[in-house]
Structure 1
Amino acid sequence: MAGGLFCSSGGCTAKLGPDILERVLSRIERGAANPNLLVGFDSSDDAAVYRVSDDVAVVQTLDFFPPMLEDPYVFGQIAATNALSDVYAMGGEVISALNIVCFPQDEDLNVLGEIMRGGSEKVVEAGAVLCGGHSINDKDVKYGLSVNGVVHPDRIYKNNGGQAGDVLILTKKLGVGIMNTANRVGAASKEAMDEAITSMTTLNKYAAAISQKYTVHACTDVTGFSFLGHLHEMLDKRLWAVVDTLSIPYIKEACTHAENFMITAAGQRNRNHVGAFVDFKGVPFPLEEILFDPQTSGGLLFAVPQEEGKAFLQELKEAGLPARIVGRLIKPEDAGFKREITVL
């Protein structure tokens, strides 16, 4: 996608803001309750889960967005990795996927072929089958997947099941949104962008597989609403959290770019939406921005019992993931703080 023809503002920075979605979804008629719909959109969870038998539930999700970088093959990999992630965030196994494509039909179709090749390779890596899809002629490029998975109804990872005393484990580095912004204006180093691309193209399949050995009370993938936005959803107005910035994994160069105000509009929407719930204690501005930064194909954020946290973390590190214990969940009455998320 040479010459910046397709890449302006893409990835998860292109998502509608959470406040807009809340207003719209609150007005939608939901119909009669269905006992087989185990997870819908009431909890802002990562995917829908529908029970088809006592032992099997279907996980359904879709995700697509415009390019965030110029290489069509890499963009296809990132978009697919991001879409597949929601199934892993629910504790499921990916079984099939369909392409979602918007592309200008008068442009070079080799570009489209490279996008879809990158996506197909990630579906194969996930152990799933690519079944087809749907395409439309559009002036802007967009690509993603509709994904199906399966999970046992008793082993679903919901995003709001955390318990006081749980530790929070994040499996990928933050800062990819800022890095993509810096890259668009030619300010990102090749080394830092390579680090960001490696992160965005790493399937959450591997972290999710390790998690099956442990007690997972809650899980979400950290994407467009940022680390703090998704953590806010996890708390579900029941719990509070303490976050240790010294433990947050992030791309170091992203801090420099944030200091130079190479930040995203989506990051500012995240700050506006969730900032009132966050109390920063002496945290430098660049790190604040990294915590509000929309992540494209971000990592998983787990809430697990404290006594299992170190063993879980060790296995994630042995698998080559930059995972860290980044905080803990507490009862509001035990917090001693004035807001639900305290960042130290």
Structure 2
Amino acid sequence: MAAVFPQTEYPDVLIGLGKPDDAAVYRLDDERVLIQTTDFFTPIVDDPWLYGAIAAANSMSDVYAMGGEVSVCLNIAGFPEDLPVEVVGEILAGGAAKVQEADAAIAGGHTVTNPEPFYGLSVTGVASAASLFRKGSAEAGDHLVLTKPLGTGIITTAAKLTGSAESPASRKARRALGKPDIQPSHLEDAIGSMTRLNRASACAGRAAGVRSGTDITGFGLLGHAVELATASAADAPIQLQIEAGSVPALPGAFDYIKAGYLTRGSVRNPEHFGGHVAAANGVSAAHKTLLWEAETSGGLLLAVPPSGLGRFRDVCEREEQFFWEIGTVQPAREDEPVIRLL
């Protein structure tokens, strides 16, 4: 498709097929850009309202990952013909609540009949051209911050494997092996993380002069960090040095890793991106799994310039936004991996 729509013929498409990023960016004028993205997925929790809220927060996250604000959304949905209308209404209501929280509007959408439910949004946002976040703008000296703990994919998988759909025979066999049930409080913490918008994180990033960032979703922390690092290293070789022990995990995540409650991302992500990552001998297998695992509606990974770190902290404190400093961007040789786990 990049050959069909070459950048040279569409100069106002600032970020698109030629330079993949978290969202497409179109120049409106010298000062403003339009951000466009879309996302949807099948249910990951049983409660329909929460499913809609998580899907909407996840869909809007790419706009925040680019440093923008959400303006207007369209619903994208598919439902089985026999799904009760009350359930459909709850899914849409959950999504609507998150869009309202973003001070944006849902202006329409499209729904099809599908054997399995899916829901998400097409999202339009705006940003200042001068404050746009890109994957390819991290510089040596930047501080790496993460704005949500990891483990949503692990915990929701644990909930599926040990929840109401598990047969009595499977439950008995699993417990005989010492594998734990999902703890309701752990699932509640994961849902709380997934439904939290990345809006405050983006606000803090803009205030701090951030130029490089991404959100953490299906490729896991390390996969998305590789994308950010390789794009940034195109101009000058850099390496993201991540302190594995400083990366936050949701309560219960390591217990469920030990039990093997993992998604396919725990295998596919290192298979695809692993050649770009080196780990110190002291980094445990469990920490590596946590950092490779897929996330849903994860936080932002931002490269904060040293001069803006204090301002970033101040805005996060004002907005009651948690964040964790997990590493730094360092100069590197061209033959070094772009990610090093410490």
Q: What is the TM-score of this pair, normalised by structure 2?
A: 0.88
Could you say which residue in structure 2 is the equivalent of 1:199? 193
Q: What does residue range 12-91 of structure 1 map to in structure 2 within 5 Å?
A: 29-31=4-6, 33=8, 34-91=10-67
Could you say which residue in structure 2 is the equivalent of 1:343? 341
Kindly tell me: are residues 105 and 227 of structure 1, through their superposed partners in 2, closer, same or farther at Cα, counting changes over 3 Å? same
The C-alpha deviation readout for 1:8-67, integer Å capped at 9, x for no partner, is: xxxxxxxxxxxxxxxxx77x6334521101111333311001012222211100000111
Q: Contact 2:220–2:269 (CA<8 Å) still a contact in 1?
A: yes
Could you say which residue in structure 2 is the equivalent of 1:293? 293
SS at match of 1:69: coil
Q: Contact 2:7–2:18 (CA<8 Å) still a contact in 1?
A: no
Q: Contact 2:131–2:211 (CA<8 Å) still a contact in 1?
A: no
Q: Contact 1:259–1:285 (CA<8 Å) still a contact in 2?
A: no
SS at match of 2:37: strand
Radius of gyration: which is bigger?
A: 2
Q: Contact 2:189–2:251 (CA<8 Å) still a contact in 1?
A: no
After TM superposition, the structure 1 stretch with the greater mean CA deviation from structure 2, 94-103 or 187-196, is 187-196
The C-alpha deviation readout for 1:279-330, integer Å capped at 9, x for no partner, is: 1212111111110111100001110112432442354255333311111111
Q: Contact 2:207–2:311 (CA<8 Å) still a contact in 1?
A: no
Could you say which residue in structure 2 is the equivalent of 1:250? 249
Could you say which residue in structure 2 is the equivalent of 1:16? none
Kindly tell me: are residues 29 and 243 of structure 1, through their superposed partners in 2, closer, same or farther at Cα, counting changes over 3 Å? same
Letter in 1 for 2:204: I
State the alpha-carbon separation in 1 of the partners of residues 331 and 262 from structure 2. Answer: 33
State the alpha-carbon separation in 2 of the partners of residues 175 and 317 from structure 1. Answer: 24
Number of residue pairs matched by the alignment: 317
Letter in 2 for 1:215: G
State the alpha-carbon separation in 2 of the partners of residues 217 and 55 from structure 1. Answer: 16
Q: Contact 2:131–2:206 (CA<8 Å) still a contact in 1?
A: no
- 1:189 alignment partner, one of 165, 178, 183: 183
1:166 aligns with 2:142: yes
Runs of at least 5 residues in structure 1 that lack an aligned partner in the other structure = 1-24
State the alpha-carbon separation in 2 of the partners of residues 244 and 151 from structure 1. Answer: 32
SS at match of 2:130: coil
Could you say which residue in structure 2 is the equivalent of 1:225? 219
State the alpha-carbon separation in 2 of the partners of residues 226 and 202 from structure 1. Answer: 18
Q: Contact 1:245–1:343 (CA<8 Å) still a contact in 2?
A: yes
The C-alpha deviation readout for 1:79-129, integer Å capped at 9, x for no partner, is: 000001111111111110000001001221211111000000000000001
SS at match of 1:121: helix
Q: Contact 1:60–1:148 (CA<8 Å) still a contact in 2?
A: yes
Kindly tell me: are residues 339 and 236 of structure 1, through their superposed partners in 2, closer, same or farther at Cα, counting changes over 3 Å? closer
State the alpha-carbon separation in 2 of the partners of residues 323 and 157 from structure 1. Answer: 18
State the alpha-carbon separation in 2 of the partners of residues 280 and 42 from structure 1. Answer: 31
State the alpha-carbon separation in 2 of the partners of residues 63 and 76 from structure 1. Answer: 12
1:105 aligns with 2:81: yes
Indicate the percent of aligned positions where both proteins have the same amino acid: 37
Please, what is the CA RMSD of the aligned residues?
1.8
Q: Contact 2:230–2:338 (CA<8 Å) still a contact in 1?
A: no
Q: Contact 1:62–1:146 (CA<8 Å) still a contact in 2?
A: yes
After TM superposition, the structure 1 stretch with the greater mean CA deviation from structure 2, 155-164 or 95-104, is 155-164
State the alpha-carbon separation in 2 of the partners of residues 42 and 253 from structure 1. Answer: 40
Query: After the TM superposition, which segments of 4 or more aligned residues of structure 1 sit over 4 Å from their partners?
Result: none
1:338 deviates by: 4.7
Letter in 1 for 2:276: F
State the alpha-carbon separation in 1 of the partners of residues 208 and 215 from structure 2. Answer: 17
1:155 deviates by: 2.0
